[in-house]
Amino acid sequence: MNDPFLLGGREFASRFLLGSGKFRNKQDLHASILASGTGIVTVALRRIDLTRHEDNILEHIPPGIVLLTNTSGARTAEEAVRIARLAKASGHGTWIKVEVINDSKYLLPDNEATVAATRVLAAEGFTVLPYISPDLYTARLLVDAGAAAVMPLGSFIGSNQGLRTRDFIRVLIEEIDIPVIVDAGIGAPSHACEAMELGADAVLVNTAVAVAANPPLIAKAFAQAVEAGRAACLSGLPVPHAAGDASSPLTGFLFQ
Amino acid sequence: MPDGATLHDLVARFAPNPALVVTELNGTIIAAAARQGQPVRDKDTIELVAFMGGG
């Protein structure tokens, strides 16, 4: 099936995006990237720990992968913009997942600040993928601001609860003309498949892969689930019925 | 850092792979190519940041 994923002016073979946090070791991360076939990996920017000489995560991400730097740690639009500019100065790309969070309990994104940061960064030429609570009005503002996609949360970050916001994500899929990438809360390949069946353009997963007993194996399972969900969506899924509907002919019974 | 030290010297001392480090001096991003000529002084605010795992 020739079904390329177009995002930010580029074409990707995979509709699965992988986060690089929480992995037990860099070898698991590297193997998971390869097993998933992903073309996009998220990373974060942090101060260097002067007491430890750690190797840089970029050394463990295969060449050709697009780095999507998140602005985690930003509590305001201004802080998100600053992180994005630092990422650009590194020379490792201008793809930014805008993530502005003030709420330390639920880790819900600040949609208003996210729109403000997106407006600034898109005008500066960044490819901006904003992480949001799924809200139609916010998504429309993000389209106008120049976002390359919207990334609505499926449920709380790292919660593995799946698509608790399913109906609201469906609204974005129906109403927004830029890619919808479901992010956060996807805890099992079945959740990823569900998002793709619903019509999402792609799915981003981190925790469920990183904390699995065998990260490369589940990364592959997620990629397969995303493919299956996409194929199902394109195939035209049947409408559920409240009652039974026989699959075999209702004529010519042997006992009539 | 000794007198006359530059941002380049500071990065080399603290970062195993200086090419993968981003620097900010008193709130201004300093490109890697400009670190060699950028002296650091007492009370400067210096940020050394690098990519880490994140979702």
Q: A8 pLDDT band (50/70/90 cuts)?
A: very high
CATH number, position A214: 3.20.20.70
Domain with A62, as residue range(s), is 5-235
Q: Do the domain assignments include residue A63?
A: yes
- In angstroms, rounded to a whole number, what is the distance separating the alpha carbons of residues A71 and A167? 27
Which is higher by pLDDT, A1 or A94?
Answer: A94
Strand partners, B53: A43
Sign of the CA dihedral with A28 first, then A156, A131, and A12 last: positive
Q: Do the domain assignments include residue A242?
A: no
H or E, element range at A175: helix A166-175
- In angstroms, rounded to a whole number, what is the distance separating the alpha carbons of residues A41 and A181? 13
Measure CB to CB from residue B22 to each of A86, A158, A204 and give the nearest one.
A86
> What residues contact A242, with CB distance under 8 A and at least 6 apart?
none
Q: Report yes or no: A22 at the B interface, CB cutoff 8 Å.
A: yes
The chain B residue lying nearest A68, using CA atoms, is: B55
Chain B CB contacts of A59 under 8 Å are 17, 20
Residue B20 backbone phi and psi in degrees, to 5 = -105, 15
Pairing of strands B46-53, A40-47: antiparallel
A97 among known catalytic residues: yes
- In angstroms, rounded to a whole number, what is the distance separating the alpha carbons of residues B10 and A180? 43
pLDDT in tens, A181-234: 999 999 999 999 999 999 999 999 999 999 999 999 999 999 999 999 999 999
- In angstroms, rounded to a whole number, what is the distance separating the alpha carbons of residues A35 and A212? 14
A194, A162 Cβ separation under 8 angstroms: yes
Which residue reads 């990364």 in tokens?
Answer: A219
In b/e form, how buried is each residue of B30-52, taking b as 16+ CB within 10 angstroms? Answer: bebeebeebebeeeeeebbbbbb
Q: Do the domain assignments include residue A82?
A: yes
In chain A, the number of structural domains is 1
Catalytic hit among A26, A97, A105, A220:
A97
pLDDT in tens, B17-41: 888 889 999 989 998 888 998 999 9
Q: Do the domain assignments include residue A222?
A: yes
pLDDT value of residue A251 = 87
Question: Whats the size of chain B, residue-wise?
Answer: 55
A85, B29 Cβ separation under 8 angstroms: yes
Best interface-test mutation with B: which of A22, A42, A90 has the largest number of B CBs within 10 A? A90
pLDDT value of residue A153 = 97
Of the CA atoms within 13 Å of residue A148, those in its CB half-sphere come to: 22
Q: A2 pLDDT band (50/70/90 cuts)?
A: confident
Residue A10 backbone phi and psi in degrees, to 5 = -125, 165
- In angstroms, rounded to a whole number, what is the distance separating the alpha carbons of residues A138 and A140? 5
**Domains with residue ranges and CATH for chain B:** 7-50 (3.10.20.30)
Q: Do the domain assignments include residue A255?
A: no
pTM value > 0.95: no
Sign of the CA dihedral with A226 first, then A228, A231, and A233 last: negative
| Residue A19 to residue B54, Cβ atoms within 8 A | yes
Q: Do the domain assignments include residue A154?
A: yes
pLDDT value of residue B2 = 77
- In angstroms, rounded to a whole number, what is the distance separating the alpha carbons of residues A70 and A42? 7
Chain A CB contacts of B24 under 8 Å are 86
